[in-house]
Structure 1
Amino acid sequence: MEMNRSRNATRNIIFGVILKIYQLVLPFAMRTIIMYELGVKYLGLNSLFTSILQVLNLAELGVGSAMVFSMYKPIAHGDSKTICALMKLYKIYYRVIGLVVLVSGLVLLPFIPKLIAGDVPDGINIYVLYLLNLLATVFTYWLFAYKNSILQAHQRQDVVSKVTIVTDTCKYILQIGMLFAFHNYYYYVCVLLLSQIFNNILTAIVSNKLYPQFQAEGKLPKETVNEIDQKIKDLFTSKLGFTIVSSADTVVISAFLGLEALAIYQNYYYIINAVMGFVAIVYSSITAGVGNSMIVYDTEKNYRDYRIFTFLACWITAFCVSCFSGLFQPFMKLWMGKELLLPYPLVILLCVYFWVYEYIMMASVYKDAGGIWHEDRFRPLFSGLVNLSLNLLTVKLLGLYGIVLSTIISMVVISAPWITSNIFKLIFKKSAKKYIAKVGYYLFTAIVATTVTNIIIKVIPDNGWLWFVVKAAVCVVVSNSIIFMMLLKVSEFSDAVSLIAKMFHAEKLVQKFKLNKESEK
């Protein structure tokens, strides 16, 4: 059975973007309220607990990715019996994972104060806050987590987005009410716990309604289980490396520089992470379709698609970097005040980090869809260990500069070349030289667009929100104009336009434009 990949991807992207805008605006409001109602150290605590729980989520081992990948083939072949058996296995694994996370979290409990340099907010018991956050994480595994897999494997992330909008609306209304009425951070975290339970239950109800034929029952052959277990083992090192990269920075900043420095850094990273989330919508929306395509179509067709996706990803990242470099400082000045600004050279480093990160994430779509986890299993781990080692070596000498530089070096030297080599060797079975040269040109395009955009917007005054909006509009127009001019002649340009037209059902309009262009010649 061939999926309608374009329709599913379009639907997922549309609802994913709606959800991401929602999840950007309301958490932004929450972060602002916490800052002005409770203080900057509470922002640091929030970030620290999030990172600690990411480390505990190592117990997940990549089970979700392995199980969803295992469903691609039976879905393509209409094998309902195997899908049900996979769901039962998924259910068992997640119950065990929840228990492991709970026990590991309790073992870590006595060491929590050691991860905070300086004082914590007055009247706060960090043990209680940590336990509440831990329980919220545990319930994500124990309450119907396996139901989510059937939605992901069928490219129905739009359903997950709709459920999340409903549950997050309830959560944010209650959290804002608690902060204004009681100025109590404990109540704020309790609402987080309850909303996670509500989200899991509602997702399970919707999943049962859409796919009632798929229930957790049956048994898989031993060979299949062994194959899945091997995928999980391969994914563990990948998960470990990714967690080190994503969490080490936060924990090291808190332990060596304190909660206030962490809060300032996280204000910037919050914006970058929000934009990463928007781009991740596209990646997550196409992953199942790419996996299906690898089963249905030949290597050349998939390689052509990969070049198109790279083109689109590099356009998006070039535009984002142009905006980050030009708008970060004026925005932070208006949002948090001059005293909570990072030095501008550090902003440039964050832009470099974003570009490299997005390149790796785009390549990871094909790594995950192609299931080459065994061959790729040590890449994230080595990259993460290098990142952590450099963090510890440079944090006292260079402060936040050392933290960001460590991450960039680990990605540029290890992760990006390694994943590119794996994809071309194992999936496309060809040399990556021409592809790398083109990516180099895309990077050059990003540098030119960023430089010119920044030169132009520097002449615009830096006073108030109105001028910020003017700067933002100029960033959008100038950066995209330069990118358009520099990429217009690239061979992937017309293919990318056709793909976007297909996704949004505008093929006839594009074809008409092409015919008019040919008649003019």
Structure 2
Amino acid sequence: MRTKRTLLNMAYALGSSLLLLLLGLVTRRLLVDNFGTQVTTASQVVSQLFNFFSIAEFGVGSVISYRLYEQIAAKNEEKISKYMSMYKWAYRAVGSVIALLALCGAAALPWIMPDVPLATGYTVYGLNVISTLCSYFLVTRRLMYTCTQQGYRCTQIDFCCNVLTSLAKIAVSMWSPNYVLYFSVSIFFNVCANLLIAWRFKKDFPYVKDVRITLADFKDLGIFHDLRYYLVHRLSNTIYGSSDTIVTSRMGGSVQTTFLGNYSTISTSATDLGNKVMDSFAAAIGNIVYDKSAAANDHDKQVFWGLDLFSYLFASFVAAAYFCLFQPFMGAWMGERWLLPLSFVLVFCLNEYVGWNHRMLGSYRAVLGHFEQDQWFMVSSAAVNLILSFILFPLFDITGALIATVVAHCIMWAGRVVVVFRRYMAGGLAHYLAAQALHLVTLAACMGSSYALCARMPGGWLGLVPRVLVVLIVPNAINLAVYGWGRDAAYLRSYAQKLAAKLKRKGKAE
């Protein structure tokens, strides 16, 4: 059942994300062309501001979810209902706090967006307040689907509503270019999606009941202890994810922010696609850890190393693809005038590699808890990101802010390594570090070889076709030559063969 649900999650997620990626590119181009850089910048900056406000969530979702895995594995329906009720009331409190933060944060808009008209900035800001608060008061039922590996049920509903959102935005952009209406359609369909999931939840989890919750319940279960430490993680992740846009808006203005946003639109859509693949494994990792003991046995260690190799293979392919395709695609999509320098793309690729390369390790770290053990890594990550961004931006523009993000991301990665190899994979740190050193050498070969071949290709949309073929063949061929015959790759092959056999048997049965 665990394997089947992982496959279902992945299939639904990939199928929906591919179409939404294409629609997202269309809506971005129409947004920039029809509403200009000021409205576009206001949208980007306000979105990142609300990422900062989400610090008020304190990571309650992550803290409760890793506890929920334990109760789902134990099939304790009473505790499951209790945790879900705690989650609901916690999010209602969070929504109220975010409303207050949004009221206070409105005063900072003129400083952050100095060249955006106040009326435009505050209108977009107000619409984001409505959208964000609707999410916090309606989104809580999704947690149960994630923890039971049934996220594909939410994906089905989200997909339909997101397609309708994109089509409505395209229609508004082309026939009635009103930015208030443009952003309002997102609110409407977001509310519709959450209401449909709430209706579906009652059918899928009838045993989950609303129970009375008090502050004593949160204290007795140690939630406040975990939240105190997880707040550091939440703050650091938020600064890491949002600082580039806000620093660029303040120091570079709306035009440079739009430059950055065009690249971010592509990367965010691609990242969402990759997240759907990786998130399909996240709940399975939680179940593996809590179905047994905290320490890994031999089989579980092999699973870890296999998934870690999968993370590297995915990361190296993504980095090589961005390095070879980002500039040609941006030129064909938005025009040559919207290109940032190749140095920006190189640093961007390194940041993507760092993130995807330790993605599976990050999933293990998330379900293990004990957030106090790497809190100072997270503090350092946040501080370095902000300080370096303001130091390097005057020297290297947007590329400088991104260099700061890469350094901060590496510090965050180091903290996750400490926790996982202390609490779960004891004795494996030396092997992990040696593997990462080899990965860096192989990554350089993948990116360098692919780029050298792609540089000989023509430009335009037609030139993308041979470049895509190079990216599909060269990095994977190099990785196959280096890693294809090791024990970890053998595990991945055997796992893939088992999946194929299950799908074949299922096809015959049907």
Q: TM-score, normalised by structure 1?
A: 0.92
Matched, 1:142 2:137: yes
In the alignment, which of 19, 23, 28 is matched to residue 20 of structure 2? 23
In the alignment, which of 209, 233, 254 is matched to residue 259 of structure 1? 254
Instruction: Please report the RMSD computed on the Cα atoms of aligned residues, expressed in angstroms.
Output: 2.0
Partner of 2:184: 190
Q: Distance in 1 between matches of 2:500 and 2:66?
A: 27
Q: Distance in 2 between matches of 1:223 and 1:350?
A: 41
Matched residue type, 1:50: S
Partner of 2:31: 34
Partner of 2:120: 125
Matched, 1:283 2:281: no
Change (3 A) 1:45 1:486: same
Matched, 1:271 2:266: yes
Q: Distance in 2 between matches of 1:504 and 1:216?
A: 41
Q: Distance in 2 between matches of 1:468 and 1:67?
A: 45
Partner of 1:65: 62
Q: TM-score, normalised by structure 2?
A: 0.94
The structural deviation recorded for 1:504 is 4.2
Deviations 1:385-420 (A, max 9, x none): 1101111122122211210111112223x2222211
Q: Distance in 1 between matches of 2:497 and 2:110?
A: 54
Q: Distance in 2 between matches of 1:475 and 1:361?
A: 21
Q: How does 1:411-430 map to 2 (within 5 A)?
A: 411-412=409-410, 414-430=411-427
Q: How many residues align?
A: 501
Partner of 2:309: 311
In the alignment, which of 482, 486, 496 is matched to residue 482 of structure 2? 486
In the alignment, which of 243, 257, 265 is matched to residue 238 of structure 2? 243
Deviations 1:85-126 (A, max 9, x none): 111111111111111111110111122111014344xx9531
**1:242–1:381 contact (8 Å) kept in structure 2:** no
Deviations 1:53-102 (A, max 9, x none): 10111111111111221211221111111111111111111111111111
Percent of aligned positions that are identical: 21
The structural deviation recorded for 1:246 is 0.5
Q: Distance in 2 between matches of 1:508 and 1:173?
A: 37
Matched, 1:203 2:197: yes
In the alignment, which of 398, 401, 404 is matched to residue 400 of structure 1? 398
Change (3 A) 1:446 1:195: same
Q: Distance in 2 between matches of 1:318 and 1:257?
A: 31
Note the residue ranges of structure 1 that are not aligned, 5 or more in a row: 510-521
The structural deviation recorded for 1:229 is 2.2
Q: How does 1:287-366 map to 2 (within 5 A)?
A: 287-297=282-292, 299-300=296-297, 301-366=299-364
Change (3 A) 1:388 1:205: same
**1:360–1:415 contact (8 Å) kept in structure 2:** no
Deviations 1:296-317 (A, max 9, x none): 3461332221111111111111
The structural deviation recorded for 1:507 is 8.9
Q: Distance in 2 between matches of 1:359 and 1:471?
A: 23
**1:70–1:228 contact (8 Å) kept in structure 2:** no
Deviations 1:257-300 (A, max 9, x none): 01110111122222222222222223322222111111234613
Matched residue type, 2:53: L
**2:39–2:120 contact (8 Å) kept in structure 1:** no
- Aligned residue for 1:38, secondary structure, equals helix
Q: Distance in 2 between matches of 1:361 and 1:239?
A: 17
Runs (4 or more) in structure 1 with deviation over 4 Å come to: 218-221, 506-509
Matched, 1:98 2:98: no
Note the residue ranges of structure 2 that are not aligned, 5 or more in a row: 506-510
Partner of 1:409: 407
Matched residue type, 2:87: Y
Partner of 1:458: 455
Matched, 1:446 2:443: yes
Q: Distance in 2 between matches of 1:233 and 1:200?
A: 29
- Aligned residue for 1:125, secondary structure, equals helix
